[in-house]
Amino acid sequence: MGTREIIRLLGGLALFLYGMQMMSGGFEAAAGNQMQHFLKRLTANRFLGMAAGAAITALVQSSTATTVMVVGFVNSEMMTLRQAVWMIVGANIGTTITSQLIAVDAGVLAPFIVFIGVMLIIFFKKPRFIYIGQILAGLGILFLGMEMVMTAMLSLHGSYGFIRFIEYFSNPLLGVPAGVTMTAVVQSSSVSVAILQAMAMEGLVSLQGVVFVLFGNNIGTCITALLASIGGSQNAKRAAWIHLIFNIFGTILFTGLCVLTPFVPLMENLFFESTEAQIAMMHTLFNVFTALLLFPIGEWLIAATEKIFPDQEINYKQEKHLEYLQPAGQPAGGKMGTSAIYLNQVHQEVMRMLEMVEYNVDKAFWAFRVGDEERLEEVNETEQYIDYLNKEISQHISKTIGNEPNEKDIFIANQYYKIAGNVEQIGDCALNIAEYTSVLQEKKIKFSKEAQAEMERMEQVLQVFFETLDKSGMGGTEWMERVAWLGQNMNEMAVQYREALAERMRKGICSVEACMVYSEMLTDFKRIGDHALELAKEMQMAADT
């Protein structure tokens, strides 16, 4: 193989991988944050889960992309481990579509497919048409790359040394590791199998010569998902290892079948028209048959990985940290599912921030009502944590939003930016209320029974308000009506209690100092209601998008 052929081979592989990435990017941009809702409906049972995994993989031509996405969903608690297992099994089946298309010479239509895709990208303004164009153009580029690889392989046809080298891989002890390495390097079993088919088309290999390499390809495709699970949750690690165990199990089974029985000659006789068709059918049989065998032992496999990776005790760190987002930021529009995972992580981080604010509001009101100055330090420390989270979340969104291709997801990210700001403002109000305790202690201010009763009622309505804002009840017309009613009720309470305060001043029941501090607290109470109502509207808009 000369320099020209090597360049052609590398260029063909690059186009193949770029086409695959382009398809994944188009699908990601089209689905965006809706992918999570789409998958929830399609993973209600194991059959639907397998179908969903197969369909997505067939669409993007990459089981690696699907599996990494699923591991990311599990890590972000957007998908259960049981849902993930069957999607991964389906992804292994879906990846065989690429080899089948190559076997029937679908690459003949590649230039036309690229033409249609590019026309959609150039002449249509609607984002959805552009994303479909990216998927089609990516598919065409993928097959154009395959054509270049096959052309480069022509020079190896008369290479005695290369053919002798390939013969070594007919030994399973050498063939399987070679397949694992091959796929681990290019990070795509579709590419690895396509290379084997390209060599078969040029008469360089037989099914007997590469069948064990083919089995090893299926193990190699697990490497990317395993790497993606490092540092993730226990369930993410379990999902990645189930994928690996699943493919090792299939490799052992089919290797034994091929060594101990005349299974390979049978396949060669059944599909005698071309070696590439034999490779495609063996690849399909491997994944379909292994998936069927996994059905009875799927739950056992899940239980086994739960023992290997037991649940860890939650460690509440004292130092400030992001619980769900990565400190370095996460660019959108990369691997499939990134937008959905990222927005879910932002949502979880904002809700964690809201829980801290709820805690601070409760402590601040209690401290104000009883004059407990010792609570001030605790509230102040929590407020510093809230400020840290607001800063980190805001920076995350600012860095990421410029790379986000989906307009709906951009809007949702903007809403979370505003929500975080309103949550932080509520935290400031809570700190203000807590700081008034210093004045109460210094001037030995005591509140009347009427004021004490009003404060207790304010605490109660705030507790109900925050419970309503909880993420489990977010969205829906009834929810928004309930939030709006509570917000209006808080405003009316502030007005009513201010009038009652003025009446107590006229009667001399309340001292001037006590009235001034209480009036300031009412202002902060009203501001809490205003900010809470604003963030509820923003939550509603994000949920409705």
The per-residue pLDDT for range 153-206, each reduced to its tens digit, is 666 655 656 666 677 788 888 899 998 988 887 777 777 888 888 888 877 788
As a whole number, mean pLDDT of residues 356-361 equals 89
Does residue 254 register a pLDDT over 90?
yes
Give the whole-angstrom CA distance, residue 443 versus residue 28.
62
Does residue 480 register a pLDDT over 90?
no
As a whole number, mean pLDDT of residues 467-478 equals 66
Taking the CA atoms of the chain, what radius of gyration do you get in angstroms?
31
**Cα angle value 411/331/237 (rounded, 5°):** 110
* pLDDT tens profile 94-148: 888 878 887 777 767 888 989 999 999 998 888 888 888 988 888 888 878 877 8
Question: In whole angstroms, what separates CA 256 from the centre of its chain?
Answer: 38
Instruction: Collect all residues with Cβ–Cβ distance below 8 Å to 101 and sequence separation of at least 6.
Output: 107, 143
What percentage of the chain exceeds 90 in pLDDT? 11
Q: What is the mean pLDDT of the chain?
A: 81
Q: Are 64 and 225 in contact (CB under 8 A)?
A: yes
Does residue 152 register a pLDDT over 70?
yes
pLDDT at 257: 92
Q: Are 195 and 149 in contact (CB under 8 A)?
A: yes
Does residue 88 register a pLDDT over 70?
yes
Number of neighbours of residue 276 by Cβ within 10 angstroms: 27
Which of residues 212 and 233 earns the better pLDDT score?
212
Give the whole-angstrom CA distance, residue 397 versus residue 234.
27
Does residue 316 register a pLDDT over 50?
no
pLDDT at 84: 83
Give the whole-angstrom CA distance, residue 455 versus residue 452.
5
pLDDT at 326: 65
Q: How far is CA 189 from CA 24, 113, 296, 342, in A?
A: 15, 23, 26, 27
Give the whole-angstrom CA distance, residue 440 versus residue 436.
6
As a whole number, mean pLDDT of residues 232-238 equals 80
Which of residues 315 and 407 earns the better pLDDT score?
407
Helices (H) and strands (E) in the chain, counts: 22, 0
Kindly indicate the confidence band of residue 32, based on its pLDDT and cuts at 50, 70 and 90.
Answer: low
Q: Are 262 and 225 in contact (CB under 8 A)?
A: no
As a whole number, mean pLDDT of residues 65-70 equals 79
Which of residues 427 and 25 earns the better pLDDT score?
427
pLDDT at 222: 85
Kindly indicate the confidence band of residue 7, based on its pLDDT and cuts at 50, 70 and 90.
Answer: confident
Q: What is the torsion angle, in degrees rounded to the nearest 10, for the CA atoms of residue 314, residue 319, residue 320 and residue 323?
A: -20
pTM: 0.64
Range with the largest mean pLDDT of 220-224, 228-232, 382-386, 410-414? 382-386
Range with the largest mean pLDDT of 372-381, 392-401, 457-466? 457-466
Give the whole-angstrom CA distance, residue 197 versus residue 274.
10
As a whole number, mean pLDDT of residues 1-20 equals 78
Give the whole-angstrom CA distance, residue 226 versus residue 248.
14
Kindly indicate the confidence band of residue 317, based on its pLDDT and cuts at 50, 70 and 90.
Answer: very low
**Cα angle value 222/226/230 (rounded, 5°):** 170
The least confident of 141-155, 376-390, 528-542 is: 141-155
pLDDT at 34: 61
Tokens at 20, concatenated: 């695959």
**Which domains does the chain possess?**
3-308 (no CATH), 338-544 (1.20.58.220)
Helices 449-469 and 477-507: angle between axes, nearest 10 degrees: 170
